[in-house]
Structure 1
Amino acid sequence: MAAIGTWAFSYPAVEEMKDLILAGENATDVVERAMAEVENDRETGHHVVGRGGFPNSMGVVECDAAIMEGSPGRFGAVAALRGVGVPCRVARKVMERSPHSLLVGEGALKFAVEQGFTVEPNDKMLSDRSASAYQEFLEKKKGVSGHDTLGLIALDLMGNITVGVSTSGVPFKSPGRVGDSPLPGCGLFADRTVGAAAATGDGDKIMCYCPSFHVVQLMKQGSTPREACHTVLADIMTKTSQENCFEIGLIALNMKGDVGTASSVEFPYTFWNQSHESVQKCTQSSPS
């Protein structure tokens, strides 16, 4: 039994995951429920997730989300989805009810409507903060920094493992831009015989290295989650040079409930497992 989330704002989500896991809930339900609450909260939108997230360069909020179970072939994702405050729930429906694994743009929106999701006007997806930031972007061409993809991994009482990710993407991105988050092996990966991993950071760069798949493969070969994350980060830094490395944070969880992280920047994360009564707040330092 264990749960882990990216960034400090994942704390309430991981607390809820802990309670749901202890109540005997399935890992996929756990991830979906905890993720959706963050996605649908305007107050967490400034962390570049869901409702309240920063819009693209045309002023429209477009969200990416994915969910992956440890069982082979169990993956679903949406990208550039407009007007839905809980994209992770749509991603799960893609996994369970679509013959496809990834739907984007108008296709993702059409599927969401067919599945009964309410599509809201764009102004309902913005918060006062994100709307004001967009106006400043238009007037001053001043952007805001943000790569805070929410990644959650849950290991339940039955030994099921599921990973989910969600993001509204780079603030003021080009319409239709998709980062690493909804791409299997890049933003997330899970294998029920090994564990799962998720990535956060500069998605345009992250997707070129398939780090989540790499982390899980190293765990399969015997590495601990911590060793696997650090090995993958070191490999990336060898290719980019440490001083030129992009922003990336990695989290991993194996089937024993052990967690691991690595990051090119200071990286807060939260986790819980059987050895702790409460959710832990931790910070992974960047390499010196």
Structure 2
Amino acid sequence: MDRRKFIHNTTLAGTGLATGATLLGCKNESGKVDAFAKAEKQSAFKPSPIAICTWNFSGATARAGELLSQGKSALDAVIAGVAVEEENEENSTVGIGATPDREGNVTLDACVMNPAGDCGAVLAVENIVNVAALARKVMEDTPHVILAGRGAEEYAYKAGFKKQPLLTEQRKLEWEEWLKTSNYKPAINVENHDTIGMLAIDGDGDIAGACTTSGLGYKMKGRVGDSPIIGSGLFLDNEVGGAVATGMGEEVLKTVGSFLIVELMRSGMSPQEACEEAVYRITRKNNRYKDFQVAYIAMNKSGDTGSFCIHKGFNMMKWQENKNDVIESKAFI
């Protein structure tokens, strides 16, 4: 076959594939509208504003819901919502009062995404409480997506953030007690290794998300988990929906869990089905899954929500129409 004939035949084959894909985008043999048409229909529907977050952080969703009720954007709502926990000294996994690493240093990670698909993240930041807001600054005011460590901290000061020590006296005492044994084994569903991830839909039907954490308690210096990594700790597509993760970040990273959930919803799965499949991927590939927790929450463009985890004990908060409800998650085990 000469080159011209080869190219001609290849073009015909490609056209056939494209036509097939177009037909799949309309109806299958049984006459049912497939995932593409379903997603298009979902994106045209505008539910009443919603905010959901990982774990029982009712104050966070209440704050986000308050802003949504005022007509504020989804991005404004999630940043303000997670800030409630970043500023809560009693929360040992987020912001000020978080558990330090093995050397006694508190380092924070966060990321955000807006409805346009823009994103920003900061990793291993010290002395800054509201790192989700800092990640937003990186997204909106710099040419970059990620700033890390000292560079992120120095940028925060230039952007107007105040320096504030993050290690409280209570966490210091706990760390000093931990040093006596240095036993490192994160406990399932005990808040020494979790995060707050939040998704919101505003009055315009737009979706935004934020994720903020101190990471694993007594982690190695420099360790970063899934939370600030776009596609793992958080991912959204404003035409489809969004997802966030919590639990053992190393396991979420291996399957790019939040991105996977959004793509599964794009293909037609409900948020609940997509969260379940993402957890199944982990349990199928890792026979040690009984030793750690991973949990996901998700929301699609229609406002449908879902959650799933490996071990019982995980829950999510959902705010909608001035109701703030705790939803217990179904579990693999």
TM-score by length of 1: 0.93
The correspondence for 1:29, drawn from 76, 83, 90, is: 76
Match of 2:247 in 1: 201
The correspondence for 1:171, drawn from 191, 214, 217, is: 217
Q: Aligned letter for 1:133?
A: E
SS at match of 1:179: coil
Q: Aligned letter for 2:160?
A: G
Q: Aligned letter for 1:226?
A: Q
For 1:55-91, what per-residue CA distance to the aligned partner results, in whole angstroms no more than 9, with x for missing partners? 111111100011112313x100101000001111110
Cα distance, 1:135 vs structure 2: 0.5
Match of 2:182 in 1: 141
SS at match of 2:275: helix
For 1:1-50, what per-residue CA distance to the aligned partner results, in whole angstroms no more than 9, with x for missing partners? 21111011x11111121221121010110011111121012122x2x111
In the alignment, the residues of structure 2 paired with residue 222 and residue 269 of structure 1 have an alpha-carbon distance, to the nearest angstrom, of 23
The correspondence for 2:129, drawn from 64, 85, 94, is: 85
1:273 aligns with 2:317: no
1:43 aligns with 2:95: no
In the alignment, the residues of structure 1 paired with residue 280 and residue 120 of structure 2 have an alpha-carbon distance, to the nearest angstrom, of 30
In the alignment, the residues of structure 1 paired with residue 274 and residue 142 of structure 2 have an alpha-carbon distance, to the nearest angstrom, of 33
Cα distance, 1:172 vs structure 2: 1.3
Larger displacement relative to structure 2 (231-240 or 183-192) = 231-240
SS at match of 1:125: coil
How large is the RMSD of aligned CA atoms in angstroms?
1.5
1:287 aligns with 2:332: yes
Task: Decide whether the 8 Å contact of 1:6 with 1:150 is kept in 2.
Answer: yes
Larger displacement relative to structure 2 (16-25 or 99-108) = 16-25
Match of 1:258 in 2: 304
The correspondence for 1:94, drawn from 138, 147, 151, is: 138
Match of 1:224 in 2: 270
Structure 1 spans left out of the alignment, 5+ residues:
none
Match of 1:62 in 2: 107
Q: Aligned letter for 1:42?
A: E
1:117 aligns with 2:161: yes
Match of 1:5 in 2: 53
SS at match of 2:283: helix
Cα distance, 1:243 vs structure 2: 5.0
In the alignment, the residues of structure 1 paired with residue 87 and residue 214 of structure 2 have an alpha-carbon distance, to the nearest angstrom, of 12
For 1:122-154, what per-residue CA distance to the aligned partner results, in whole angstroms no more than 9, with x for missing partners? xx3122331111101222324564222101111
In the alignment, the residues of structure 1 paired with residue 128 and residue 288 of structure 2 have an alpha-carbon distance, to the nearest angstrom, of 38
In the alignment, the residues of structure 2 paired with residue 109 and residue 69 of structure 1 have an alpha-carbon distance, to the nearest angstrom, of 22
Task: Decide whether the 8 Å contact of 2:122 with 2:152 is kept in 1.
Answer: yes
SS at match of 2:331: coil
The correspondence for 1:131, drawn from 172, 189, 195, is: 172
Task: Decide whether the 8 Å contact of 2:282 with 2:289 is kept in 1.
Answer: no
In the alignment, the residues of structure 2 paired with residue 225 and residue 19 of structure 1 have an alpha-carbon distance, to the nearest angstrom, of 24
In the alignment, the residues of structure 1 paired with residue 69 and residue 130 of structure 2 have an alpha-carbon distance, to the nearest angstrom, of 24
1:67–1:243: structure 2 CA closer, same or farther, 3 Å change rule? closer
1:75 aligns with 2:116: no
In the alignment, the residues of structure 1 paired with residue 283 and residue 103 of structure 2 have an alpha-carbon distance, to the nearest angstrom, of 34
Structure 2 spans left out of the alignment, 5+ residues:
1-48
In the alignment, the residues of structure 2 paired with residue 112 and residue 153 of structure 1 have an alpha-carbon distance, to the nearest angstrom, of 24
The correspondence for 1:248, drawn from 290, 294, 310, is: 294
Task: Decide whether the 8 Å contact of 1:237 with 1:245 is kept in 2.
Answer: no
Which is greater in Rg?
2
Q: Aligned letter for 2:76?
A: D
Task: Decide whether the 8 Å contact of 1:195 with 1:255 is kept in 2.
Answer: yes
Q: Aligned letter for 2:123?
A: A
In the alignment, the residues of structure 2 paired with residue 155 and residue 135 of structure 1 have an alpha-carbon distance, to the nearest angstrom, of 43
Task: Decide whether the 8 Å contact of 2:289 with 2:310 is kept in 1.
Answer: no
Runs of 4+ with deviation above 3 angstroms = 142-145, 241-246
1:142–1:240: structure 2 CA closer, same or farther, 3 Å change rule? closer
Match of 1:16 in 2: 63
SS at match of 1:158: coil
Q: Aligned letter for 1:207?
A: L
